[in-house]
Amino acid sequence: MKTEGLSINLATVRQQWNLREAVEGCARHGIMAIDPWRDQVAAYGLAESARVIKDHGMRVTGYCRGGMFPAADAAGRAAAIDDNKRAIDEAATVGAECLVFVVGGLPPGSRDLNAARGMVAEGFAAILPYARSVNMPLAIEPLHPMYAADRACVNTLGQALDLCDLLGDGVGVAIDTYHVWWDPDLARQIARAGAAKQIYAHHICDWLVPTKDMLLDRGMMGDGIIDFRAFRRMIEDAGFHGPQEVEIFSAQDWWKRPGDEVLQTCVERFNQVC
Amino acid sequence: MKTEGLSINLATVRQQWNLREAVEGCARHGIMAIDPWRDQVAAYGLAESARVIKDHGMRVTGYCRGGMFPAADAAGRAAAIDDNKRAIDEAATVGAECLVFVVGGLPPGSRDLNAARGMVAEGFAAILPYARSVNMPLAIEPLHPMYAADRACVNTLGQALDLCDLLGDGVGVAIDTYHVWWDPDLARQIARAGAAKQIYAHHICDWLVPTKDMLLDRGMMGDGIIDFRAFRRMIEDAGFHGPQEVEIFSAQDWWKRPGDEVLQTCVERFNQVC
């Protein structure tokens, strides 16, 4: 079965494997692209992680994740900016094609979403010169509106693209089917993103009915209600032909299965429904 | 404490009281506006419900709910249209100011959200002449995007207003803080709705962090992260000055408390934070 055009976000096997095991697992299944998480890289060691990834000839379609800009005070926001610069360095070290951002939600005690959104824009503006200086593209991932309070106050593709336009070169979007499939404005915004060359990543994950947990009950492609082929056509028609990156958080299902079974299923479903 | 401008959606006390008890409870707390649900009215009897509501001099700020238009086949869609005409009759019988719509999600087995949205538009078009003939306003309630698959494929205020514009006179929106608070385009769309006289209802309910259940863990005003005063200012600036209607689904908290405690808390929070 085809594995070209398939990438595995390593969160998909985070409970089964450490970074080296995950890279080896992907290689064993013929999958030659990954997106590791910061905590996975930190646990295995940054230099060692970079070496393992390079030794296996892995393409790194993204590095997860920067963001979490809003904070209750200026010191907190400055700390987030510093941390994001470190994330940029790490992304460069592992050879990532972009740093993916979950921008953050409301600061503790705040009910002011506009203020949080302002902090996000300021945070990006503060790190962008550094990102440009090391040629690391920044990919804003709009998250599903159910995460607006606690994870990401950028919640539609259109909103993310407005932010890209505000910030300028070096900022684009990571489009995850799970987060944006519901958007009535989706087709138009994907076309807009493509025209502006702002699509940096294409994540895939299915929406289960019912969804039993708002964070950790995401579905394998084909098990939910997303039409992945229709989605891919929109992305490709917009001019993006990069890998589809599987990112599934699934505490009660896929994280409990052997990693090899998860990857085998990813390959099968990638061929069958994506 | 002030109770003028406060309405209680009777789902808020659905586990504690039948329709008569709920109406009496509201009256006891000085709350003179309600929004009953079809199943509550059916269980108590339509004529009896209308009598109890009238005898207590209750204003009926809405009737919940019409909708659920998409279906797998034409017979199913026709049955939904018939059922919605019955809902219009019931709404008129209880003296409701509008019939509130949860439009429905994907039909079983479908992954085509655009098709579902088309079925919703067709369903409304089919019932609208009848609604107009009995002067019953239809209030489309955009539901949070996390319900797009299984409850409502109208998920933003802007999308609902586009549908209103398509359908014409007699169709407006029910704006529920819980469903729309996250929308980056909210202020603009509320102003648009007001300018077109399309705001028919203003529901209030808080978003809890964390939210433990996607349907039944909604919050009492003040317990979550929504800024109700800022929201009300937008609604009033848009020209809507009708009651704020409390609608809280809360299986593990408010539905387990005595109805009088729930209503007393609604009155207190209405005065403190709304």
In order, the DSSP letters of A49-86 are HHHHHHHTT-EE--EEEEE----SSHHHHHHHHHHHHH
Residue with the two structure tokens 């740093």: A99
DSSP string for A122-177: HHHHHHHHHHHHTT--EEE-PPPGGGTTTTBS--SHHHHHHHHHHH-TTEEEEEEH
Residue A184 to residue B112, Cβ atoms within 8 A? no
- Average pLDDT score over residue span A159-188: 98
- Say if CB B242 and CB B232 are below 8 A apart: no
CB neighbours of B236 closer than 8 A, spacing ≥ 6? none
Measured CA to CA, the distance from residue A67 to residue A100 in angstroms comes to 8
At residue A169 the predicted structure's pLDDT band, cuts being 50, 70 and 90, is very high
B interface mutation test: which of A110, A144, A146 has the most B CBs within 10 A? A146
Chain A interface, best mutation among B225, B226, B227, by max A CB count within 10 A: B225
Q: What is the DSSP string of A189-210?
A: HHHHHHHTT-EEEEEE-BPPSS
Show the beta-strand stretches assigned E in chain B.
6-9, 33-35, 59-60, 63-67, 99-102, 138-140, 171-176, 199-204, 244-246
Quote the CA–CA distance of B120 and A179 in Å, as a whole number. Answer: 23
Q: What's the whole-number mean pLDDT along residues B29-51?
A: 98
A204: nearest Cα among A273, A105, A130 = A273
User: Are A226 and B155 a contacting pair at CB < 8 A?
Assistant: no
* Mean per-residue pLDDT, A4-9: 98
What's the count of helices (H) and strands (E) in chain B, helices before strands? Answer: 10, 9
Q: What is the pLDDT of residues B105-144, one digit of tens each?
A: 999 999 999 999 999 999 999 999 999 999 999 999 999 9
pTM: 0.98
Q: Which of A112, A159, A226 is facing B184, going by the closest CB pair?
A: A159
Gap between the terminal Cα atoms of chain B: 13
Which CATH number among 3.40.605.10, 3.90.79.10, 3.20.20.150, 3.40.50.720 corresponds to the domain B6-273? 3.20.20.150
Judge contact between A187 and A233, C-beta under 8 A.
Answer: no
The count of other CB atoms within 10 Å of the CB of residue A258 is 12
pLDDT digits (tens, 9 = 90+) for B203-228: 999 999 999 999 999 999 999 999 99
Question: How much is the average pLDDT of B55-68?
Answer: 98
Q: Which residue of B has its CA nearest to A157?
A: B184
SS3 label, residue B257: coil
Count of H-run helices and E-run strands, chain A: 10, 9
Q: What is the pLDDT of residues A45-78, one digit of tens each?
A: 999 999 999 999 999 999 999 999 999 999 999 9
Q: Positive or negative CA dihedral for B117, B123, B126, B129?
A: negative
Task: Please state, in angstroms and rounded to a whole number, the distance separating the CA atoms of residues A1 and A20.
Answer: 24
Chain pair A-B, CB pairs under 8 angstroms: 73
How much of chain B exceeds pLDDT 70, in percent? Answer: 100
As a whole number of angstroms, the longest Cα–Cα distance in chain A is 52
Q: Give the one of A112, A145, A225 whose C-beta lies nearest to B106's C-beta.
A: A225
Supply the pLDDT for residue B24. 98
The proportion of chain B whose per-residue pLDDT surpasses 90, expressed as a percent, equals 100
Radius of gyration in angstroms for the set of CA atoms belonging to chain A, rounded to a whole number: 17
Please say whether the beta carbons of B216 and B251 come within 8 A. Answer: yes
A129's tokens:
């010169």
Is there a contact between A186 and A141 (Cβ–Cβ < 8 Å)? no
B150 contacts on A by Cβ (under 8 Å):
209-210
